[in-house]
Amino acid sequence: MNRGFNSGIDVIPTYDPLGFVYGKGVYGPSVENRRLDDIRKSLLDPDCKGPDVVYSIAMDVGRSCDKTDLLKRNLLFGVVSYAKGQMGIEPVHSQGHIHAVSKFCGTSTCEIYEIWHGSAYIYMQETAEDDPGRCFAVLAEKGDIVIVPPGWAHSTVVADTSENLTFGAWCVRDYGFDYVGVRKHHGMAWMPVVKDGKTMFKQNPLYTKSQLEIVKPRCYEELGLEEGKPIYTQFIEYKDRFLFVPKPQLRKWEGFHP
């Protein structure tokens, strides 16, 4: 299993190069790499130096015995590893996006993160318009679960730049990404920077003024999640537990607090 964390599925991250090794009875694709050159336009310094491969992603990973159940529910499990280090004065992070409207359910969908290695700020804001609405940065460490609700712009930020970051995530199978609003503003409403070795956030002046809440993860009991149990294991035990991912209309999202 993976380096001290029981993820419920035999997937082992590698860090040189970034990637994953699948155990017996587990399927998964070769990783797709997102490179520094792919996200330069969303960085504070587009000409900065940093790791060539910012992160590697493998979408549609699972136990072979679960594949029929996953396909039936339009549910997909993905795994992602991020490089350690910085991109100029910024920690390694994704450029940010909104989940595109799924043809399966006719709306944007949520995502469930579970940290496997390292630590992350899962940053999210209600919109990618000039007024970003409520803004949160959830500081998550190994074993923590974070949910990003449908329609929110979000990005993943390496919190400890001395370590790689790996997480697993549940999302809709016909996933897609909308980058328009984030790219229009050259990033999120609050941009991560490293100062004195620590990751913190700086307001992006291309948005209207907003407040950032830095919070710790919670257990999401109202969504039927169990604290301290891997999210893949929770699926194994109850196959319909995460139906609200491909069918977000099953849950109430108004006023959601991460």
pLDDT for 1 equals 38
Q: Is residue 246 part of a domain?
A: no
Six-digit token pair at 95?
A: 């450029």
Q: Is residue 83 part of a domain?
A: yes
Percent of the chain with pLDDT over 70: 98
Report d(CA 57, CA 78) in Å as an integer: 7
Q: Where residue 60 sits, what CATH number does that domain have?
A: 2.60.120.10
Q: Is residue 3 part of a domain?
A: no
- Identify any residues that bridge with 148 across adjacent strands, giving them in sequence order: 111
Mean pLDDT, residues 65-73: 98
Span 74-131, pLDDT tens digits: 999 999 999 999 999 999 999 999 999 999 999 999 999 999 999 999 999 999 999 9
Helix (H, G, I), strand (E, B) or coil at 73: helix
Q: Is residue 38 part of a domain?
A: yes
Q: Is residue 47 part of a domain?
A: yes
Does residue 189 have a pLDDT over 70? Answer: yes
Span 32-56, pLDDT tens digits: 999 999 999 889 999 999 999 999 9
**124 is in which domain, residue-wise?**
11-238
pLDDT for 42 equals 84
Does residue 2 have a pLDDT over 60? Answer: no
**Contact, 124 vs 178, CB < 8 A?**
no
Six-digit token pair at 78?
A: 């993905």
Overall number of domains in the chain = 1
The residue type found at 73 is R
Mean pLDDT, residues 195-221: 96
For the chain, the average pLDDT equals 96
Six-digit token pair at 202?
A: 């700086």
